[in-house]
Amino acid sequence: MRSQAAICSVVVTATTVWAPCTLVLLAAAGPSPHLHRGTRPLAGALSAAGVTEVRGDLADPEDLARALGEGADLLVDCIGYDASDAQRVVTGSADLGSAVVISSAAVYTDAQGAIHGRYARNPREWNVLKHILDGRRHVVLAHGGSSSFQTTAARTIAELVRLAVARPGRRVLNAADPQAPTAAEIVAAVAGDRGTSLAVHTLPGGPQGSLGTNPWAVPHPMVLDMAAAARGLGSQPVTDYAGALTDYLDWLQEVAVGHWRAELTDFPAGDLDLFDYQSEGAWFTSRSRG
């Protein structure tokens, strides 16, 4: 490992969190290289801040070495899911001062983490926002609408990275919003932020085909505890779920309307049919006749 002095940040990812992390670290590090595959342009805010773009595959040691150059005081690796990802950091450790590796709630359960914020590639909230923009006034949710799947603001992750950089050490920490809203609460929060409301109808159990399917539909609560981050780094929430929505949804509405399939390249995860309005309509019709 290199000795730590001034911080030079290398942000490595193609996920929601890389842009916020980079922007938070710019104040301490100045412009830094960002390694990504180039499937989408570098965010305008990063280009304007002087971030340099290195296109390549993180899994290729030569590409990572090219991004690191003569070495870096900090590597922020936002793609840390299995042993091979950990080995990548270990292999390059001689050229690093320290590393912050960001993983996913998927390491606890077989589901992707519900990260929300600008530049998301799988923005779950598009499920609700598109209903609103399409003029829908109702939504059907499985599991009674009470599914609780932990949400995390990208800004919260970025702040935790900043704190970890200031106090290097070996630790494993969770990053999460201070509450874990239910699916029904998320629908209400998104609609409320857009100045409207959606009537929530629920199914007592799991989805019926695509009916009731939503990005937070899990049969059991999945909640993350940030107590260790608070004890070890003094971490405090920088926002809650509702407080992070306006900026995020403004961006989402701007980039997704009219061409969302091209912009939201990982949405929906798992090939879910989240806009089966025909099934919704048939269900409402059968209820009204019943």
Predicted confidence band of residue 270 (pLDDT cuts 50, 70, 90): low
Strands 138-141 and 151-153: unpaired
Predicted confidence band of residue 2 (pLDDT cuts 50, 70, 90): very low
Q: Is residue 162 part of a domain?
A: no
Q: Is residue 67 exposed (0-12), middle (13-18) or buried (19+ Cβ within 10 Å)?
A: buried
Question: Using one digit for the tens of pLDDT, what is the confidence trace for 40-64?
Answer: 777 777 777 777 778 887 778 788 8
Residue 91, pLDDT score? 74
Q: Is residue 193 part of a domain?
A: yes
What pTM does this model have? Answer: 0.85
Quick one: what percent of the chain has pLDDT higher than 90?
39
Q: Is residue 112 part of a domain?
A: no
Query: CATH number of the domain that 183 lies in?
Result: 3.90.25.10
Query: CATH number of the domain that 27 lies in?
Result: 3.40.50.720
CB atoms within 10 A of CB 173: 19
Q: Same structural domain for residues 86 and 136?
A: no
Q: Same structural domain for residues 250 and 215?
A: yes
As given in the structure block, the two tokens for residue 286 are 């059968």
Q: Same structural domain for residues 146 and 191?
A: yes
Tokens 């702040």 appear where?
Answer: 159
Question: Using one digit for the tens of pLDDT, what is the confidence trace for 117-169?
Answer: 888 878 999 999 999 999 999 999 999 999 998 999 988 888 888 888 888 88
Number of domains in the chain: 2
Q: Is residue 114 part of a domain?
A: no
Q: Same structural domain for residues 82 and 194?
A: no
Mean pLDDT of the chain: 82
Question: Using one digit for the tens of pLDDT, what is the confidence trace for 49-105?
Answer: 777 778 887 778 788 888 777 777 777 887 777 788 778 777 766 677 778 888 777
Q: Supply the angle between the helices 183-193 and 245-256 in degrees, to the nearest 10.
A: 80
Domain boundary among 71, 103, 135: 103
For residues 53 and 34, the answer to whether their CB atoms sit within 8 Å is: yes
Question: Using one digit for the tens of pLDDT, what is the confidence trace for 157-216?
Answer: 888 888 888 888 889 999 999 999 999 999 999 999 999 999 999 999 999 999 999 999
